[in-house]
Structure 1
Amino acid sequence: MKTMTRQYKYPLALAIAASIATGPILAQSAIEHHVWQDARKFEPYSRTAESITGAIRLSGNKQFATPGSKMTITFGTGKKAQLTSVGASWRQWDDVDGKRVTAEVFKLDKDPGTLLNRNTLCGKAARYLVFHESLSFGVSLLGVAVFEGSKEPEDINSPGLCGTFNYSAD
């Protein structure tokens, strides 16, 4: 009985072709998604959020980091503000932790004015809100940094920082 073995003229070329064909499938990563993209309510976690904004509700924005995409924020008083994305970055955005995180910067269409307990987001007109995620004692948080001034913030140390708030994201 004769056994047939097939010999390929270019075995290395076939192996390379097979790895190229399956490479992108194996290397594909998950789509980036953040809590502020969902339409939902966030309860205050920090005392500043509790006494100034109360719970906030975001209308959601599925277009992460797409400049010009819009979302609405509703504060505990019922006041609303339109937010327009100016993009996202991976920098230091948390005022407590020096680590870099992904954050999205939004421009406010107008300052919401007086909120809870006759407080405002800033001493002057709030212009930008920056959303990022963090952890505190195992609790997932939505962090919000508020900036005044006309220049878009680049990180937590940018001029115009006037408030930081934390909300439960669990």
Structure 2
Amino acid sequence: MIVFQQRYPVAFTIAACLVCGSAVAQSAIEHHVWQDKRKFEPYSRTAKSITGAIRLSGNPDFATPGSKMTMTFGNGKKVGLTSVGASWRQWDETDDKKATAEAFKLSRDPGHLRNGNTLCGDPQSDPAQYVVFLERSTFGDSTRLLGMAVFGSKEVPHDINSQSLCGTFSYSTD
């Protein structure tokens, strides 16, 4: 090796820099569709009948506890969301694969939405407490969807099997 360094110092230096650079290089910063400021049209029947389209205000700070955004439902009701972090666990009720998801604490239950429906039942006695966003795909093709799981427990949900799951919703990302 020393002979190689003496005969080819530039080549050795370049090779060493490439090896070190790849060892320290980070993967691209994680970015998910729910971080974008945009409108999501309902895809699932539950989303069509309960929430309608949703609009997210955007949040560039993925998985940063305390970061905030706003969700506006199809009937114009708004609710604040505060991130409590992200995790890699089973979040899709129809698939046991793990997915990255971010959980948000609701500032309040939005109350009655479309057709008199609510996210979790009675907003006074059984309010929605958390929403969890994840990216999922449709059955049979690779169409990407925004998934939203709503929980009524006072505890931060751990995965899709956490206590007080109220409902799951899917939205188009097109």
Shorter-chain TM-score above 0.5: yes
Greater fraction of residues in strand: 1
| Residue deviations 1:75-109 (CA, integer Å, cap 9, x gap) | 00000000000000000000001100000000001
Structure 2 gaps, min length 5: none
CA gap 1:20/1:153 in 2 versus in 1, 3 angstroms: farther
Q: Which residue of 1 aligns with 2:129?
A: 127
Q: Secondary structure in 2 aligned to 1:50? A: helix
CA gap 1:7/1:71 in 2 versus in 1, 3 angstroms: closer
2:115 aligned to which of 107, 114, 117: 117
Amino acid across the alignment from 1:148: G
Q: Structure 2 CA distance, aligned partners of 1:63 and 1:24? A: 29
Q: Which residue of 1 aligns with 2:18?
A: 22
Q: How many pairs are equivalent?
A: 163
CA gap 1:20/1:68 in 2 versus in 1, 3 angstroms: farther
Q: CA deviation at 1:22?
A: 2.4
2:149 aligned to which of 118, 137, 145: 145
* 1:152-163 mapped onto 2 (5 Å cutoff): 152-163=156-167
CA gap 1:24/1:114 in 2 versus in 1, 3 angstroms: farther
Identity %: 63
* 1:1-170 mapped onto 2 (5 Å cutoff): 8-9=5-6, 15=12, 18-23=14-19, 25-26=21-22, 27-123=25-121, 124-136=126-138, 137-170=141-174
Structure 1 gaps, min length 5: 1-5
* Greater radius of gyration (CA): 1
| Residue deviations 1:1-59 (CA, integer Å, cap 9, x gap) | xxxxx9754869x73x5444223544442111000000000000000000000000000
The CA RMSD over aligned residues, in Å, is: 2.0
State the TM-score, normalizing by the size of structure 1: 0.89
Q: Structure 2 CA distance, aligned partners of 1:21 and 1:116? A: 59
Could you list the runs of 4 or more consecutive aligned residues of structure 1 that deviate by over 3 angstroms after TM superposition?
6-12, 17-20, 23-28
Q: Secondary structure in 1 aligned to 2:96? A: coil
